[in-house]
Amino acid sequence: MQLSIYMKRAFYPLASRLSSPVQGKLPKRVTADEAVSTIASGDHIFVHGPASTPTELLEALCRRVDSHGIKDLRPIHIILGGKVPWTDEKYFGKVRSNGLFLCGNVRKLVKQGQADYTPVFLSDMPTYFYNKTFPVDVALISEEIKIGKLIAENLVENGATLQLGIGAIPDSTLVAMKNHKDLGIHTELLGGGVMDLVRTGVINNTKKSVMPGKIVTTFAFGTQKFYRFLDNNPMLHFDCCSWTNHSDIIRANSKMTCINSGIEIDITGQVASDSIGSTFYSGFGGQTDFMGASSTSYDGMGKAIMAISSRTAKGQSKIVTTLSEGAGVVTTRGHTRYVVTEYGIAYLGGKTVRQRAYELIKIAHPDDRERLEREAFERLNDIYVHPHASTPTELLDALCRHVKRNNLSRIRPAHIILQGRIPWTDSEYWGKIRSNCLFICGNLRPLVNQDSRGFSSMGVDIDCSRTATSSAKKIIGTVNWSALPRVLNRISAIVNPSMPRTYGDTVIHISHIDSLVEVKDRKIYAKPDRGKPNEVEQAIGKLIAENLVEDEATLQLGIGAIPDSTLAAMRNHKNLGIHTEAVSDGVLELIDAGVITNVKKSVMPGKIVTSYGYGSRKFYDVINDNPLFHFESCEWTNRPEVIRSNSKMTCINACIEIDLTGQISSDSIGRFGGQVDFISSASTTYDGKGKAIITLPSRTSKGKSKIVGTLSQGSGVVTTRGHVRFVVTEYGIADLGGKNVRQRAYELIKIAHPDDRQMLEKQAFERLKCMPSLD
């Protein structure tokens, strides 16, 4: 595994040249004013930082603006240390900086509309510089203690590899680790808190699996004492963030323990670390890279930890029922595992929304808990249940009869998607049966008739069903597979002759089944026929097919009108492949026409790979006993390194609404699903040809704009603004890659409904304090 990881490491040619000597060339010794004398109006200038911020050069730059009438300078930076001279009002309209990460000395400029902020992950920054998305003409180079103790004593194991930020909580966490052994460091940002632990031998990096013996980091920031510690120290290894923050590298570390902080967290586990309302506080950095990767580490021992004080300095709770309007979500509720305040540790992994609220309220400030409980009840009172193909209606009816006859209570069926009538929705079962909706089908495993050797196929719903069946204590109703014991005690199953027999990881032997219920008269559930896509959906599909899908691409699409209309517009494409979470009728015509051949796929060539299928009767007939369709567990189909390995991976997903910064809501009305898995992985594919596409009509059926100034309060953010690349409505395509928020607003307003554009421009100005523009 290690060899393959290091083979994928990429160095850009420019970076390589900088370390190679140029024969006969030496720099001239000049003053700061002489050094900036060649800078002209319109230049894009990269500024080094934070510890290396070239203050003298920045001051000289501003003096040149004063003396030579230079204007439209575009500095681009990550974090700057010290005073930033162009914050003076006399430079407004002359110097407009673009922050890839925000700190206090430039935050006010962004809020005033006099500077830009670009939401971008640290690991993506080198790519944007290399491909000129961020053009550079010139480079100027150069409560917490208690929280830390809780983390150190309860969540950090001996031999762990740590990622920490800079600040009081990371430093206090390190201070509390003086009795630990054999710790290692792999982090994007290194602070002085490591020094004492290195000297005492606590941090020795000997147990690391990636670059053992080395502290690996991207940049460092601290005191003069800390810089002396770094000087000529062979233990320190500095590398490009496109490598240190690469999810494959992070996952490969042993006991990867990532500790990050946020501005506020809602009771479902959604974390805002970027912005609140119109105020941008910091930036994306590497939080999503590390939080997402550590929770799926290769050794299964990684930990994603969110540290946050219970209250702000003004006494307001940082644990909230719904995030503030305009909040910038960096860590989605799907990534959040551990949350730590000074009042304790909440573990959210595998928890329902109701359980998450309970855990988080326990660690809120005591004076806020009663209010949060009251607000949580108001928000979480209803459970939404989705439809899907294989719902075992007869067993659900029998379950409810059993509950009623024996006066049972606290029955907790978990499921993903259900179809047909759900009997426990009747009020007589309230308080007795409480289901847990996870997204897809899976409460009772539907099976086809066994073959002569006793093997049965689990049909079209493999998704998480394979894992659920092998780990369940009981499969009656359904299970939360990640929360139940690994020992299988009992399976009750339906034998349904109408269920297609499928290929892949779909087989279960009859000897594992405790009880069978035979269904003779009921067909499995088919997708309702909603007619042909309307003109808007057809226009979106055509735009995607003609502009964003290349020949020989590997596709991931959802189920619905826009995916079907996109596929319908691809009849002239060649050698397409499918690797997706869900497959439906839309692929059938392209298979018959020889457009979908799967021959150019790099992962399982020749096969349509999917996790589940849901479609018409004709669709089920086609996939029955058809080796072209290969069904796998979603833990494999949706795994980032598998998705990234596909050639020309093109992922097309839908959303409910998008705000002017590119933040996507797809969860609170719909579902979480695999959107984050595919969208984030498509933009970081190994061949560099992946595309992450979000689709939506410009308006709802009631005529309201789906492109909004700020997301509706309580919206579930599935795709962060750092992940979004292409957005498509019936009015065009917006490419948000590498764009700052002002440019993003401009691009999105262009593809909004014409009658909504003026309104959105006003909302953009109110939020950004400047007009949206391309440059």
Catalytic residues: 188
Q: Report angle CA 362, 365, 368 to the nearest 5 degrees.
A: 90
Lay out the sheet containing 664-665: strands in order across: 707-708, 657-659, 664-665, 717-719
Instruction: Give the integer Cα–Cα distance in Å for 54 and 59.
Output: 9
Q: 573, 603, 604: which is closest to 591 by C-alpha?
A: 573
Instruction: Give the integer Cα–Cα distance in Å for 168 and 275.
Output: 20
Token representation of residue 272: 């805002």
Contact criterion met (CB below 8 Å) for 407 and 438? no
Cβ neighbours around 239 below 10 Å, total: 18
Instruction: Give the integer Cα–Cα distance in Å for 415 and 766.
Output: 43
Contact criterion met (CB below 8 Å) for 217 and 188? yes
Partners of 139 in the β-ladder: 46
Instruction: Give the integer Cα–Cα distance in Å for 191 and 179.
Output: 20
Instruction: Give the integer Cα–Cα distance in Å for 266 and 35.
Output: 49
Calculate the dihedral angle through the C-alpha atoms of 503, 509, 513, 518, rounding to the nearest 10 degrees.
Answer: 60
**Continuous H helices in 691-771:** 741-750, 757-768
Partners of 320 in the β-ladder: 266
Q: 306, 216, 292: which is closest to 248 by C-alpha?
A: 292
**Continuous H helices in 505-570:** 535-547, 561-568
Instruction: Give the integer Cα–Cα distance in Å for 444 and 469.
Output: 9
Contact criterion met (CB below 8 Å) for 307 and 260? yes
> What is the chain's percent helix, strand, coil content, to nearest 5?
30, 20, 50
Instruction: Give the integer Cα–Cα distance in Å for 773 and 767.
Output: 14
